[in-house]
């Protein structure tokens, strides 16, 4: 095993931040002159479309969402809404306590580190400025690839960009988007992070995975112990 591919939201990010996702849209809705409940409904219902780039970048997406709510925002409203949306997006992606130090430790130990994230435009646009970017060797985003987990294209792209085969990769995630089943079928060895200390967050996962991996940890901090004892590939 030479590489580790991580999920992003709820895995590298602080799971508790997920509980603030709706409130993070408040300023965006206000900038667009929309009621929060209407804007939240539009954003929630369009999630499968937004994460594969169907509506374009953040500005184009917010225009499409405003129109779904029956509004035609001005350029000034859109300018303010984009700024608010990017700020709100930043508020739901703070690092999980200890995550950055863990990434630094794993790289120092010689692991290649990658990412596969189902995400909308905000993360892609901000990625180079995040504290995660310099710590990961490759990042695969659904918004850029036009596919979402568990599509095999994403896992193949991550392995290819890391310069390894899929069978040389661990996949570590909290279980949304059927990601572990996708990893298993791609040839990666999955590890489930249950986030046991955050039971309310598990209810927010989109398209939860019915497949439960053999390897399960309650917190990301337990990962090094798993890696230390199981560096060999999983049996066929």
pLDDT at 208: 72
Contact partners, residue 99, CB within 8 Å, separation at least 6 = 12, 13, 220
Assess whether pLDDT exceeds 80 at residue 235.
no
Helix (H, G, I), strand (E, B) or coil at 192: strand
Domain spanning 3-17+93-229: CATH superfamily: HAD superfamily/HAD-like (3.40.50.1000)
Assess whether pLDDT exceeds 80 at residue 236.
no
pLDDT at 18: 87
pLDDT at 176: 87
* Average pLDDT for the chain: 94
CA distance 150 to 56: 22
Residue 114: which H helix or E strand, with range?
A: strand 112-117
Q: Return the sign of the alpha-carbon dihedral for residues 31, 32, 35, 39.
A: negative
C-alpha separations of 186 from 17, 51, 127 in Å? 30, 21, 25
pLDDT at 204: 63
Mean pLDDT of 200-223: 84
CA distance 130 to 90: 9
pLDDT (tens digit per residue) in 1-20:
999 999 999 999 999 998 88
Assess whether pLDDT exceeds 50 at residue 234.
no
Q: Are 187 and 166 in contact (CB under 8 A)?
A: yes
Mean pLDDT of 116-135: 98
Kindly indicate the confidence band of residue 233, based on its pLDDT and cuts at 50, 70 and 90.
very low
| Domain boundary assignment for the chain | 3-17+93-229, 22-91
Mean pLDDT of 112-121: 98
pLDDT (tens digit per residue) in 71-89:
999 999 999 999 999 999 9
Q: How far apart are the first and last CA of the chain?
A: 14
Full strand arrangement of the beta sheet holding 215-217: 138-141, 112-117, 3-6, 169-173, 189-193, 215-217
- The pTM score is 0.94
């Amino acid at each position: 095993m030479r590489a580790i591919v991580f999920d992003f939201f709820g895995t590298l990010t602080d799971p508790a931040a997920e509980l603030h996702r709706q409130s993070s849209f408040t300023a965006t809705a206000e900038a667009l002159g929309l009621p929060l409940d209407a804007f939240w409904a539009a954003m929630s219902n369009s999630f499968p479309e937004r994460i594969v780039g169907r509506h374009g970048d953040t500005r184009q997406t917010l225009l499409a969402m405003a129109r779904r709510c029956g509004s035609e925002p001005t350029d000034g409203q859109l300018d303010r809404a984009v700024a608010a949306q990017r700020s709100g997006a930043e508020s739901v992606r703070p690092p999980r306590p200890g995550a950055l130090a863990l990434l630094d430790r794993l790289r120092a130990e010689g692991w290649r580190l990658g990412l596969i994230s189902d995400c909308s435009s905000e993360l892609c646009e901000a990625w180079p400025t995040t504290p995660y970017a310099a710590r990961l060797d490759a990042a695969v985003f659904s918004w850029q690839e036009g596919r979402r987990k568990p599509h095999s294209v994403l896992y193949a792209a991550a392995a290819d960009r890391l310069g390894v085969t899929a069978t040389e990769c661990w996949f570590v995630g909290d279980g949304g988007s059927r990601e572990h089943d996708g990893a298993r079928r791609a040839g990666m060895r999955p590890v489930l992070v249950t986030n046991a200390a955050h039971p309310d967050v598990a209810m927010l996962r989109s398209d939860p995975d019915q497949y439960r991996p053999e390897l399960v940890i309650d917190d990301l901090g337990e990962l090094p112990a798993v890696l230390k004892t199981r560096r060999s590939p999983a049996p066929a």
